[in-house]
Structure 1
Amino acid sequence: MPRFEPNPQRRPTAIAGASAGIGAATAQALAASGHPVALGARRVDKCQELAEKIRADGGQAVAVPLDVTDEDSVTAFVTRTTEELGDIEVLVYGAGDLDADLVHEMEGSRFQGQLDVHLGGAHRLTSRIVPGMVDRRRGDVVFIGSDVVPKPRPRMGAYVPAKAGLEAMARTMRMELEGTGVRASIVRPGPTSTSMGMQWDEKTTEAVLNDWVKWGLARHPYFLRASDIADAVHHVISAPRGVHLSLIEVEPEAPLEER
């Protein structure tokens, strides 16, 4: 007798932050494997474009408006996703942007905004989706963390504590969900080429990079691709029942040295 019933081949998946970057790449990767995906973000037009592409490629996808800082929006997202795709088997949380500044120079509203998107939003979705997973005795929750948690980076005034809080919540959930059949996991990317930080002005970008070099946090110029992180998420949710990939760290490999 197997220790666990296997997961269904078709696993409806809710993705927060699906309009670009890691979220968009994850949606494409999971849809290509046969999982129907709900693409949630404030930029619903971008999600709609991606959903149309996924459907054209033979996958199943719906674009649903989602503001993770708004309780009503989160509730509406979960309700429509369930109506369109069925009970949510997988939640991937990667919503949020990166607001760069020094801790002591960041306005309180900006600091709180980062915490609310990266951590508060994760809790809002988790609290609406995970109870159903517990009832069904299976499910995967994957949080997109960051290597700034073990290795803080200067000028990430609110991003570092927000991601640290997110990963702490994930580790707490892993203990609380033990024995329920629901797995809470962290995929922790290193430097990744996405749209995050694209809104910085030249002065901010220069200051950030100079500080990273000063603290030895930019050893080489190579970045991961969003698809690399999507592959890691796919690997986590594809692990057979009875196996829990609780943390996957993904770092860019350095360029080959000349010989």
Structure 2
Amino acid sequence: MENRIEGKVVAITGASSGIGKATAELLAAKGAKVVLAARRAEKLELIADAIKKTGGEAVCTEADVTRRDEVQALVNLAVTTFGKIDVMINNAGIAQLHRMEDLDVEGWEQMIDVNLKGTLYGMAAALPEFKKQGYGHIINIISTAGIAIVPTMGVYAGTKNAIRTISEALRQESEGRWRVTGISPGNVKTEFVSHIKNEALRKTSQEKSDQIAIPADAIADAIAYAISQPDNVDIGDIVIRPAVQS
């Protein structure tokens, strides 16, 4: 089977753990040149070093996706280091779970800044390069939370569904110039739950995750599948979750 991942330059946000880390390692093993970003520089460097020790190509930069200039620096690093950017994976995300009446306005703003604006910043950084090149691939990590709406996840789901809508609009506007894929993971074994501030909901979410979560590698496989398609094949949406998840 032809390896359509080898040689591609792939930028990944939120790459220091979980889905981002698993995706970086898998794509690098398949011959991609990965450009990694996250706030935890020391973890990024360990991941990049490990990839290079096994013969892969990787560079990294500390970046907070709520800062447009830092997301732009990620794409600039890809282009200056490897001469192009083939794929932009907007993976960084955060969830704060509360009932709406609790008025966790700070949490709402955090999710809007990271999940929505951070993804838009990634798209804004990559699209000018895609227009120059005449090709490219945006992959946005969304969530099954936007498919099955449940209490305490209203704003989180809202930010993710905003990205779902934006992704489809971008796909149509591209008219074949670039591809756009939305990946909606369900319950995945990552550090994601540990960042929830609401202690009771964090504990409940962690217990459920411990019981049913699938490995981050499963999401990485889906991302690799989307990237590996022929240039004229656009995988629009992938929903991937534990078989037992409702």
Tell me the TM-score normalized by structure 1.
Answer: 0.86
Deviation at 1:41, TM superposition (A): 0.5
Check the 8 A contact 2:65/2:114 in 1, yes or no: yes
User: Which stretch shows the higher mean deviation, 150-159 or 227-236?
Assistant: 150-159
Q: What does residue 96 of structure 1 align with? A: 93
* 3-state secondary structure, aligned to 1:148: helix
Check the 8 A contact 2:4/2:229 in 1, yes or no: no
> Which whole-Å CA distance do the structure 1 matches of 2:25 and 2:103 have between them?
36
* 3-state secondary structure, aligned to 2:192: coil
Check the 8 A contact 1:154/1:208 in 2, yes or no: no
Deviation at 1:254, TM superposition (A): 3.8
Q: What does residue 64 of structure 2 align with? A: 67
Q: What does residue 50 of structure 2 align with? A: 53
Q: 2:184 aligns with which of 182, 188, 191?
A: 188
Query: Taking structure 1 as reference, are residues 188 and 124 closer, same or farther at Cα in structure 2, changes over 3 Å only?
Result: same
Check the 8 A contact 1:111/1:157 in 2, yes or no: no
Tell me the TM-score normalized by structure 2.
Answer: 0.90
> Percent identical across equivalent pairs?
30
Q: 1:203 aligns with which of 196, 200, 204?
A: 200
* 3-state secondary structure, aligned to 2:8: coil
Q: What does residue 125 of structure 1 align with? A: 122
Check the 8 A contact 2:90/2:140 in 1, yes or no: yes
Q: What does residue 27 of structure 2 align with? A: 30
Q: 1:244 aligns with which of 212, 234, 242?
A: 234
* 3-state secondary structure, aligned to 2:65: coil
User: Which stretch shows the higher mean deviation, 62-71 or 80-89?
Assistant: 80-89
The C-alpha deviation readout for 1:171-195, integer Å capped at 9, x for no partner, is 1111111232x00111111111110
> Which whole-Å CA distance do the structure 2 matches of 1:226 and 1:8 have between them?
19
Higher radius of gyration, 1 or 2: 1
Deviation at 1:105, TM superposition (A): 1.3
* 3-state secondary structure, aligned to 2:140: strand
Deviation at 1:209, TM superposition (A): 8.0
> Which whole-Å CA distance do the structure 2 matches of 1:221 and 1:207 have between them?
11
Check the 8 A contact 2:5/2:31 in 1, yes or no: no
Task: Tell me the amino acid that sits aligned with residue 190 of structure 1.
Answer: G
Q: What does residue 3 of structure 1 align with? A: none
RMSD between superposed Cα atoms in Å = 2.2
> Which whole-Å CA distance do the structure 1 matches of 2:97 and 2:109 have between them?
13
Alignment of 1:168-183 (within 5 A): 168-180=165-177, 182-183=178-179
Check the 8 A contact 1:78/1:129 in 2, yes or no: yes
The C-alpha deviation readout for 1:193-249, integer Å capped at 9, x for no partner, is 110111446522356589xxxxxxx7x942211000000000000001211111111
* 3-state secondary structure, aligned to 2:116: helix
The C-alpha deviation readout for 1:5-45, integer Å capped at 9, x for no partner, is x9784111100110100011000011011010011011111
Deviation at 1:122, TM superposition (A): 0.9
Q: What does residue 12 of structure 2 align with? A: 15
Check the 8 A contact 2:194/2:202 in 1, yes or no: no
Q: What does residue 212 of structure 2 align with? A: 222
Task: Tell me the amino acid that sits aligned with residue 126 of structure 1.
Answer: M
Deviation at 1:158, TM superposition (A): 2.4
